[in-house]
Structure 1
Amino acid sequence: MGNTIITQIYESIKTLLIYKPPQNPKPFVLDEIEKGKSGHSGPRPEDGITSAVRELKTLVDYSRRLEEIMEKSIAAFRGNDLTSIERLPEEVEALKKVKDNTAPVLLSYDAAAQPLDKLVSPLLEENKAIIDRMYSSDINKDILIRRFELGGKQPIKAMLVFLDGMIDKQVLDLGVLQPLMLLDTGKTKPAGNELLTTIMENCLPSNQASPVSKFKDVADAINGGDTALFLEGVEQALTLSTKGYKQRGVERPQIEQSIRGSQAAFSEGLRTNTGLLRTMLPTNDLVTEILMIGDRIPQKCAVMYLKSLVNPDLVAEVKRRLKGISTDYIVDLGILEQFIEDHPAMIFPQMLSTERVDRAAVNIAEGRVALVYEGVPFVHIVPVTFFSFFHSVEDFSLKPPAGTFMRLLRIVGTLVAVILPSMYLGINYFHQEALPTELALAIAGAREKVPFPAIVEILMMEFSFELIREAGLRVPGLLGSSIGIVGAIILGQAAVAANLVSPIMVVIIAVTGLASFSIPDYRLAFALRITRFAFLLLSAMMGLVGLSFGLLVITVAMCSMKSFGVPYMTRVAPKTISGYDTLVRGPVFRQEIRPDQLNTQDSRRQPAISRKWTKEKPVGKKEEEE
């Protein structure tokens, strides 16, 4: 019977109606881990067997080490090797320490402990087993273990552990391996930890070398790009500075650009950034404390301050908050800020974030604390006030009138960016009598053909402007700025031509957008942009009364905020000693007092008369009198 149309229809209906098991394998589904199957949720049944195997392996290594020493002793006495005979007591003493570590109670405790909690063993094989367990060396190809022997008549087994890609191979070869492999152990009398000290002081040219006893310290050093040296019979490891991973160099500031002033910006390297700050502040009074942040993946955070100037309570509070963080991993200073700031629910920034080295140095010199985080090209300054975000490095590079004008311009631009759309909306809805008759008629005539109310008109333009701003940030290079300019022009012209918005609305939104760019700090500008939308809703409901209510609420909230013990609105509320550096930028030679709210150990920056040459007679007058 041929394959007719009827049979095809029949087969199709049969295929639809009759169930057939799927031929493809089941898709992958990420199920939850059952309790007891993960090594972190509790002890597994095979842990006891594994611990027993480790204990037995340790005893076997100790027996093998004892056998080697016995064979060396027999050979030394038969060959009348005086050098070897003199070294026998030292080796026996080292073996005795190994025997003390193989007591059943210690073995049982050590086998059950986590690798990071263990102490460095005098047995090289035991240390290798711990390293293998810590870094999963059977599958992890980043960890490298280099075995070798210290030369001479009495060779000593050694082991180097490092991460590939994190070290400088030339430093490792010439500064570590070559001196160690050429070392004559026959001339080196000490053994045990004394041998490690002798090697560190007389053999290795590395600029940083320190002995450690815990594997936690060993892991921190290896993860940071250092190399760990283990020696047979030595209860300590030696960490050597061999860092060589690639880092971005010092470049020009990309966000906080300036005409005058330093052109150096921070990079991702912690030590690069601390070095840049020390270049700007060449004094022994500058202190750098490094703390580890993160439980599972610890990262370095440097706390920098001038010891003789900063308030000790401020430093203690900063360190207390940093040490009180308990989380797996912090990747950025912005995340760290949310863990330690006083008011995490407030949208206003409570730390000053800067990429400029000179700006961070100036704040440290005033008595503040700088936080430098590994892998972040920004530095956070604490404590700060609301007016600190309107200051720029160029304010002091220019004359006082120019610096004051720029600061007042930023304040006016901030007010315009926050309240201009809300004022227009409130006047348009509730207070038309506040406008001159001619202006009110002009606005009404421009909006005659617009089918939407003013609130919809403003929100459409605001969201369009925000989309253009976001697109300009996300598109790389010069194309982003081009998209922003062209998009704004085309969108505004097309919206007016289509009678979707009025021309006056395009002008208001354009002025508001330009005014928002006058705010120096990006995070403060973002917070004020969000506040602008809240003010729009209040103005739409209650007019200028709603706008005034919103401004009052924001002012009260900001006056109640603190940044590491300093009131956020200082020097306005509460009132403090004026230093000619809040809104008005006074002459530098008149700023004798440091910011009063910091309560530094030395409040005086300079004497009352800093230009002492003005009290002296000119050189020509002195010569005439003589």
Structure 2
Amino acid sequence: MKRKLFKKSDIFQFETSKELLDDESDIKGNSFSGDISIDALIIKQFYFFPQNVDFKVRHIKIPMMEKEAVIFYIPSLTDLNMVDEHIIKPLLLNSNKETKEVSSIISASSINEEQKIKKAIKELNTGNTLLIIDGVPRCYVIHSSTAAGRSVEKPQNETTLLGPKESFVEKADINISLIRKKIRTEDFTVEKMVIGERSNNEVYIIYNKELAGEKVLNEVKARIGAIQKDAVQNLGLLIQHIEDRKTSLFPTILQTERPDRAASFIEDGHVIVVMNNSPFALVTPATFWAFYHSADDHYLRFIYGNFTRFLRMSAIFITLFTPSIYIAITNYHIEMLPADLLLAIAGAREMVPFPAILELLLMELAFELIREAGIRVPTPIGPTIGIVGALILGQAAVEANVVSPIVVIVVALTGLSSFAISDVNLNYAIRVARFGFLIAASLFGIFGMVGIFMVGLFYLTTIKSFGVPYLAPLTPKYRSSNDTLFRKVLTHESIRPSFVKTKDLTKEPINNK
């Protein structure tokens, strides 16, 4: 279709109502003209009206002003009852000509005036309603957005015994309210940024303005603002744009689906990021210890909480080292085994045709495949596939002399221990690193394991999360409550972590400072 554009005194005229505009970006940057026929035509053509059925236009005449008006809204994002009962109905039924202000007639929670077409269209895309009146060189933006979504449910990945049983959902306003009800202070601050040249996705940055460090906050804003993409739909994609090392094995931004955990990080001076379409929040900065901890650590009593942390750290070492220790000892250091155990292992492997390393790799890969299949298949049969598949596969492999029984025990212990690592991203990192230890042990024995472990420690000391060392406050040493490997008695945790450069280091009541 041929497009024509006419300009006269900075007001656009059109040959017919079906003609498209030459330069949409230029027109979006203009202000409303006050001519309802022109302004309405511009907005209609941007939304391909009337072919686009997900865009509604309502022409009315306002009795109190004796002027024509047009209402625009997107039905899939808008509360239709709000439009009917609180916008259209008051405008049509109010005949008091002494009332000239639209804001005095419409019974909506928020009404703003906007002069720029581009900004008005952005508001329309979020589900708000636009009202333009003939002779008025601006539009009214009426808050009426809503969207379908699930209700607040129990956490799926970060389960807890004694903590709150609610998790984030895919709607940012609900997620903010879940955090806000736990931090009832005027210092609670939410800032909005828009990313994605085409999708215009909204990102919300949440922090306590009296606690959050300026350096971390500015770094978070700078990284989000530097994203150059047409669309970033959710936090799972956003995190890959703003993290420090995009190819790092270890995660540097914590993802949590628990509002209570997000609130505790805010009260320690961290910055939280939430976004529509994401049932979790990002915590910045995040150290290794944040991934190692779980929500139950502080809800349980001091001894119980530290006992679970001991089990979790033991599970990490078992997952990392058990397969590689088996390979190293059976291949290079058989003198470390008692004679009876050595004979038992040799007898079990007598009929196995494969080397020990290949035997372990096959079983490890089979276990990972079963685990991945259990996640991807429908929920009712997922656990069944995991249990039955592992039992049948293990039993059949032993009876067919493909693997030895001791290898099945090693792999089962390794896999079971990996489930004790609560954070999903740290879990993946440990599982992948396990294969590195396994290969190093097969080539160099225990010396290879030690070498890989030392290289890994050196690597962790070089990682930073938004300028914060990854192993802080353990190394380098920062002033804090030393909540790292084990926690202190809750009444003794009176200092916020200083590595986030918080404005208030102590947790004493304000009146006592």
TM-score > 0.5, shorter chain as reference: yes
Answering whether residue 510 of structure 2 is matched by residue 598 of structure 1, we say no
Residue matched to 2:49: 137
Amino acid in the other structure paired with 1:199: V
Partner SS for 1:315? helix
Residue matched to 1:244: 146
Partner SS for 1:146? strand
Residue matched to 2:5: 51
Partner SS for 2:181? helix
Q: Which has the larger radius of gyration?
A: 1
Residue matched to 2:117: 215
Amino acid in the other structure paired with 1:148: I
Contact 1:303 1:371 survives alignment (8 Å) = yes
How many angstroms does 1:474 deviate by?
0.9
1:352 to 232, 254, 257: 254
Determine the C-alpha separation between the residues in 1 that align with 2:116 and 2:360: 63
Determine the C-alpha separation between the residues in 1 that align with 2:362 and 2:27: 59
1:164 to 57, 75, 92: 75
4+ residue runs over 4 A deviation? 53-61, 109-113
Residue matched to 1:472: 374
How many angstroms does 1:537 deviate by?
1.6
Determine the C-alpha separation between the residues in 2 that align with 1:241 and 1:473: 40
CA displacement 1:267-289 (0-9 Å, x = unmatched): 11110000111111111110000
1:271 to 164, 169, 173: 173
How many angstroms does 1:113 deviate by?
4.7
How many angstroms does 1:392 deviate by?
1.6
Determine the C-alpha separation between the residues in 2 that align with 1:113 and 1:557: 47
Higher mean Cα deviation, 498-507 or 524-533? Answer: 524-533
Q: 1:545-584 counterparts in 2 under 5 A?
A: 545-584=447-486
Determine the C-alpha separation between the residues in 2 that align with 1:533 and 1:415: 13
How many angstroms does 1:376 deviate by?
0.6
Residue matched to 1:409: 311
Contact 1:155 1:185 survives alignment (8 Å) = no
2:40 to 110, 128, 151: 128
Structure number with the higher helix fraction is 1
Amino acid in the other structure paired with 1:443: I
How many angstroms does 1:134 deviate by?
1.3
Q: Which has the higher contact order (CA 8 A, sep 6+)?
A: 2
How many angstroms does 1:578 deviate by?
4.9
The 1:578–1:364 alpha-carbon spacing in structure 2 relative to 1, beyond 3 Å, is closer
Contact 1:295 1:328 survives alignment (8 Å) = yes
How many angstroms does 1:504 deviate by?
0.4
Partner SS for 1:557? helix
Work out the number of aligned pairs and report it.
505
CA displacement 1:504-549 (0-9 Å, x = unmatched): 0000000000110111101110111111112222222212222112
Determine the C-alpha separation between the residues in 1 that align with 2:290 and 2:85: 50
Residue matched to 1:175: 86
The 1:55–1:442 alpha-carbon spacing in structure 2 relative to 1, beyond 3 Å, is farther
Determine the C-alpha separation between the residues in 2 that align with 1:484 and 1:144: 50
CA displacement 1:451-481 (0-9 Å, x = unmatched): 0011110111011101110111011223101
Query: Could you tell me the TM-score, scaled by structure 1's length?
Result: 0.78
Determine the C-alpha separation between the residues in 2 that align with 1:421 and 1:342: 31
Determine the C-alpha separation between the residues in 2 that align with 1:110 and 1:493: 70
Residue matched to 2:102: 199
How many angstroms does 1:245 deviate by?
2.3
The 1:339–1:112 alpha-carbon spacing in structure 2 relative to 1, beyond 3 Å, is closer
Gaps of 5+ in 2: 16-20
How many angstroms does 1:59 deviate by?
5.5
CA displacement 1:318-341 (0-9 Å, x = unmatched): 111111111011122121111111
Amino acid in the other structure paired with 1:173: D
Amino acid in the other structure paired with 1:183: N
Contact 2:32 2:137 survives alignment (8 Å) = yes
Answering whether residue 117 of structure 2 is matched by residue 117 of structure 1, we say no
The 1:518–1:157 alpha-carbon spacing in structure 2 relative to 1, beyond 3 Å, is same
The 1:557–1:57 alpha-carbon spacing in structure 2 relative to 1, beyond 3 Å, is closer
Query: Could you tell me the TM-score, scaled by structure 2's length?
Result: 0.94
Determine the C-alpha separation between the residues in 2 that align with 1:404 and 1:387: 14
Contact 2:170 2:276 survives alignment (8 Å) = yes
